[in-house]
Amino acid sequence: MATQRISGSEAVIKSLLEEGVDTIFGYPGGAIMPIYDALYDYDQQVTHYLTRHEQGAIHAAEGYAKVTGKVGVCFATSGPGATNLITGLADALIDSIPLVCITGQVASPLLGTDAFQESDVMGITMPVTKWNYQITSADEIPEAIAKAFHIAHTGRPGPVLIDIAKDAQFGQFDFEYKKCTKIRSYLPEHPVDPFQVKAAADLINNAKKPIVLFGHGVILAHAEDEFKEFLEKTGIPAAWTLLGLSALPSNHPLNVGMLGMHGNYGPNIKTNEADVVISIGMRFDDRVTGKVAAYARQAKIVHLEIDPAEINKIIKADAPVLGNAKKSLRMLIDNVNPNTHTAWLEEFHVCDKIEYDKVISHDVYPKKIGLTMGEVVRIASEKTNNDAILVTDVGQQQMIASRYFKFNQSRSNVTSGGLGTMGYGLPAAMGAKIGRPNREVFAMVGDGGFQMTIQELGTISQYEIGVKVIVLNNNFLGMVRQWQQLFFEKRYSFTEMKNPDFVGIAKAYGLASQKVTSRDQLEGAIQEMIDHKGPYVLEVVVEQEDNVFPMIPTGASISDIILEP
Amino acid sequence: MKQEYIITVFSENHIGLLSRITIIFTRRKINIDSLTVSESAIAGIFKFTIVINETADRIQKVVGQLEKVVDVLKVFANTNDEMIYQEIALYKVSTEFLFESDKVEKIVRNSGARILELTREYVVIEKTGHSDETQHLFDELNVFGVTQFIRSGRVALTRSTIERLSEFLRERDALLEQVD
């Protein structure tokens, strides 16, 4: 490839183009101005979205990455621009989201001098990135960006940050781009060991009451087809973690529901009755396991996992299978016997019936006067034939939406799992809609989380991003209030909110909007929102003090899941 | 049960890597008792020798998380009896004690220490050994008054003939080929 003499700034844009980037979320400022100036000439190749806050940019990049499987890219300036990315970086690290974030930095002679808008971005971002690197000379740019993309999307994905000093952005050099495919110190994934697969298959073939627990790893490895084939061959019931949601269609006969604190009754109690637990691309988060000492003690554990540090971290694996889930599953399929577990699966259905009668029916077909979050979720899902992308914020609406929204296709659930980042929903939904413009995208947010990043309505309005925002308004920080009710004697310490007129705010941003307060308006309003071309904000006033059940109280065993207060 | 472990981190020589390594301990609130950074026998590859007091279970998890660091090649954790290790200590005492009696001289002689520098005002004594040995010498000298004292981080080698990493690097190359 011929070289050409260009500026560092132009090299940044050209490098991104070489990596196939066509979408950037960002916010300019002093130290990144040369890069933005270079970007100005590339508006045909790259679409840049100016968010209203850097946190909005990074969450949008996360939403974009989750639905497309591509690396999300965002720009921010030095100092406060970079520090505003921290929450998003931490979120992407714990949820394994591939991101490349580029931050401007003061000119290299000023590093360490407390210059205007200087902060130690390398130091601050180290604990919340998979890798970070500071560029002080233009000629480092192509190699660093190539390395950034390789690291961000291979192995267990994660966020990478490249900090570029202003003088490096101005510097001229002979540009040449070479993709990075190998780093000596970095093994993205272990080749799958046939002996490990054999040991896992032996346990699976001899199991009488096996259960599969699947997570984000299935989606990240693009292993949905292999996963389904494995389930159908073995006939094993499968339950999902929050981030595994949508990897298996909701109506699949072996899909037995959600694990964990607000998950379904069956998969939780049956994990403690199974003889073999097969966990695939999940990491036994404490919200899934409850009390670890009382978790699946009776079972042999098979653990398919790409990250060696996750094996035996929380739960000791009897048969670990290290490697990429797609490859592990392919080999496992060839080693397992065709089987069915009809009687065992029936036990889950018995649990489903109990949960339906005690919880679900009241949530999704309520008889009381006040609206429930559950019925809103059910109607939104039904009216889009379960084909929509669901983006949730964090809290009660997240749990309710994850429980009751139905999915036909993978990469359709976008949520902040590990970090539990309030304010994630709205900007992540923008990114999801930009990544999948032809699909319906719902942002399901509470009144609390919505107001943490509500300024992104400006971005939605400016670029006419057709997100359908459903604000489930109970005038409370609902999940905290629920805990206060159940565990802190109803002492509602600072959880009640006086909210603004959300419809008024939406309209001020030039967005179509409506407020619903009663059941007879609900279906019509949701239909109207779906029929509307372009963004829409629907506020639904729901029951103030509804709780999410079932629930595993903190520190309790999954067997002690409670169905009602 | 907690005990002393020597963690050896082999890495590329990149700026900021020390922080990336130490924050893994900080995050779990593990104190680093001693730290030595030096080049290994393989050109370009650096070696961090870290001494901590922890349980085997926590050590295993820390090792896993250290190996996740992109620029880290390989991490080993060993108990003290699995390695040959030394620390070096320097002691400064007033020269007058050397002339007042032969006690200081005898202590130095018996402990296998040596005198590095002798001036009119002070004498600097050097001793190499395990920390209990260098500590013992400190206690003996401190009867007279040690005015300055420093103990280095631990240096440690395994009992194998080659750098453990050589084998690892060959395996890694093969693994990287396989993953493509």
Instruction: Please list, residue by residue across A219-234, b when 16 or more beta carbons sit within 10 angstroms of its beta carbon and e when fewer do.
Output: bbbebbebbbebbeeb
- Mean pLDDT score of chain A, rounded to an integer? 97
Predicted ipTM of the assembly: 0.91
Task: Render pLDDT for A196-252 as a digit per residue (tens, 0 to 9).
Answer: 999 999 999 999 999 999 999 999 999 999 999 999 999 999 999 999 999 999 999
A277 pLDDT above the threshold of 70: yes
For residues A530 and A392, membership in a common domain is answered with: yes
> Which pair of tokens denotes residue A541?
């006033």
Could you tell me if residue B156 is inside a domain? no
Domain boundary among A122, A142, A175: A175
For residues B107 and B73, membership in a common domain is answered with: no
Q: How far is B72 from chain A (nearest CA, A)?
A: 6
> Which pair of tokens denotes residue B19?
């922080």
Q: Identify all chain A residues contacting B175, using CB atoms and an 8 Å cutoff.
A: 187, 190-191
Residues of A with CB under 8 A from a CB of B: 122-123, 126-127, 130-132, 134, 151, 181-191, 307-309, 312-313
Domain boundary among A346, A378, A397: A346
Model pLDDT, residue A104: 98
For residues A22 and A132, membership in a common domain is answered with: yes
For residues B73 and B99, membership in a common domain is answered with: no
Mean pLDDT across the stretch A426-453? 98
A116 is a catalytic site residue: yes
User: What single-letter DSSP state applies at residue A509?
Assistant: T
For residues A67 and A115, membership in a common domain is answered with: yes
A479 is a catalytic site residue: yes
Could you tell me if residue A428 is inside a domain? yes
- Residues B176, A182: C-beta atoms closer than 8 Å: yes
pLDDT band at A1 (very low <50, low <70, confident <90, very high): low
pLDDT band at B166 (very low <50, low <70, confident <90, very high): confident
Lowest mean pLDDT among A2-6, A441-445, A485-489, B19-23: A2-6
Mean pLDDT across the stretch B145-152? 96
Could you tell me if residue A330 is inside a domain? yes
User: What single-letter DSSP state applies at residue A562?
Assistant: B
Count the domains in chain A.
Answer: 3
Domain boundary among B83, B98, B126: B83
Q: Among partner residues B64, B68, B179, which is closest to A189 by beta-carbon distance? A: B179
For residues A143 and A82, membership in a common domain is answered with: yes
Which member of A10, A19, A54, A118 is catalytic?
Answer: A54
CATH number, domain with residue A520? 3.40.50.970
For residues A210 and A78, membership in a common domain is answered with: no
Count the domains in chain B.
Answer: 2
pLDDT band at B161 (very low <50, low <70, confident <90, very high): confident
For residues B78 and B89, membership in a common domain is answered with: no
- Residues B61, A308: C-beta atoms closer than 8 Å: no
Whole-prediction pTM: 0.96
Which member of A166, A300, A406, A515 is catalytic?
Answer: A166
Could you tell me if residue B179 is inside a domain? no
pLDDT band at A72 (very low <50, low <70, confident <90, very high): very high
CATH number, domain with residue B28? 3.30.70.260
- Residues A185, B176: C-beta atoms closer than 8 Å: no
Distance from C-alpha of A557 to C-alpha of A295, rounded to nearest angstrom: 7
Distance from C-alpha of A432 to C-alpha of A460, rounded to nearest angstrom: 12
Distance from C-alpha of A417 to C-alpha of A415, rounded to nearest angstrom: 6
Q: Identify all chain A residues contacting B176, using CB atoms and an 8 Å cutoff.
A: 182, 184, 187
Q: How far is B37 from chain A (nearest CA, A)?
A: 18
Domain that includes residue A200, residue range: 194-346
- Residues B70, A185: C-beta atoms closer than 8 Å: yes
pLDDT band at B41 (very low <50, low <70, confident <90, very high): confident
Mean pLDDT across the stretch A428-447? 98
A224 is a catalytic site residue: no
Q: Among partner residues A131, A181, A309, which is closest to B64 by beta-carbon distance? A: A309
For residues B90 and B77, membership in a common domain is answered with: no
Which of B11, B70, B180 to mutate to probe the A interface, most A CBs <10 Å? B70
Q: How far is A290 from chain B (nearest CA, A)?
A: 20
- Residues B176, A187: C-beta atoms closer than 8 Å: yes
Element (H, E) at B92: strand B84-94
Q: Among partner residues A151, A191, A313, which is closest to B179 by beta-carbon distance? A: A191
> Which pair of tokens denotes residue A545?
């003090």
Query: Which is higher by pLDDT, B161 or B143?
Result: B143
Q: Rounding to the nearest 10 degrees, give the CA dihedral for residues A352, A356, A360, A366.
A: 170
Model pLDDT, residue A307: 97
For residues A413 and A267, membership in a common domain is answered with: no
For residues A235 and A264, membership in a common domain is answered with: yes
Contacts with A344 (C-beta within 8 Å, 6 or more apart), sequence order: A208, A209, A210, A237
Residue in chain B nearest A134 by alpha carbon: B15
Task: Render pLDDT for A20-41 as a digit per residue (tens, 0 to 9).
Answer: 999 999 999 999 999 999 999 9
Which of B68, B169, B177, B180 to mutate to probe the A interface, most A CBs <10 Å? B68
Residue in chain B nearest A313 by alpha carbon: B61
For residues B32 and B58, membership in a common domain is answered with: yes
Q: How far is A64 from chain B (nearest CA, A)?
A: 25
- Residues A185, B72: C-beta atoms closer than 8 Å: yes
Domain boundary among B26, B59, B83: B83
For residues B18 and B47, membership in a common domain is answered with: yes
Q: Is B61 on the interface with A (CB under 8 A)?
A: yes
pLDDT band at A106 (very low <50, low <70, confident <90, very high): very high
Could you tell me if residue B171 is inside a domain? no
Which is it for strands A4-7 and A172-175: parallel, antiparallel or unpaired? Answer: antiparallel
pLDDT band at A2 (very low <50, low <70, confident <90, very high): low
**Contact yes or no for A197/A230 (Cβ under 8 A):** no
Element (H, E) at A159: strand A159-165
Domain boundary among A175, A206, A225: A175
A551 pLDDT above the threshold of 70: yes
For residues B35 and B99, membership in a common domain is answered with: no
- Helix boundaries (H) for A8-156: 8-18, 33-39, 54-68, 80-83, 86-94, 121-125, 141-153
Distance from C-alpha of A156 to C-alpha of A461, rounded to nearest angstrom: 35
For residues A169 and A209, membership in a common domain is answered with: no
For residues A164 and A204, membership in a common domain is answered with: no
- Residues B73, A185: C-beta atoms closer than 8 Å: yes
Mean pLDDT across the stretch B55-63? 95
For residues A155 and A219, membership in a common domain is answered with: no
For residues B139 and B109, membership in a common domain is answered with: yes
For residues A302 and A164, membership in a common domain is answered with: no
**Contact yes or no for A49/A26 (Cβ under 8 A):** yes
Could you tell me if residue B169 is inside a domain? no
Q: Is B11 on the interface with A (CB under 8 A)?
A: yes
B171 pLDDT above the threshold of 80: yes
Could you tell me if residue A431 is inside a domain? yes
A195 pLDDT above the threshold of 80: yes
CATH number, domain with residue A231? 3.40.50.1220
A166 is a catalytic site residue: yes
Task: Render pLDDT for B67-120 as a digit per residue (tens, 0 to 9).
Answer: 999 999 999 999 999 999 999 999 999 999 888 888 999 999 999 999 999 999
Could you tell me if residue B178 is inside a domain? no
A157 pLDDT above the threshold of 90: yes
Distance from C-alpha of A511 to C-alpha of A420, rounded to nearest angstrom: 28
For residues A422 and A514, membership in a common domain is answered with: yes
For residues B74 and B8, membership in a common domain is answered with: yes
Q: How far is B61 from chain A (nearest CA, A)?
A: 6
Could you tell me if residue A557 is inside a domain? no
Q: Is B174 on the interface with A (CB under 8 A)?
A: no
Domain that includes residue B138, residue range: 84-151
Domain boundary among B83, B105, B137: B83
CB pairs under 8 A between A and B: 55
Q: Identify all chain A residues contacting B56, using CB atoms and an 8 Å cutoff.
A: none
Could you tell me if residue A550 is inside a domain? no
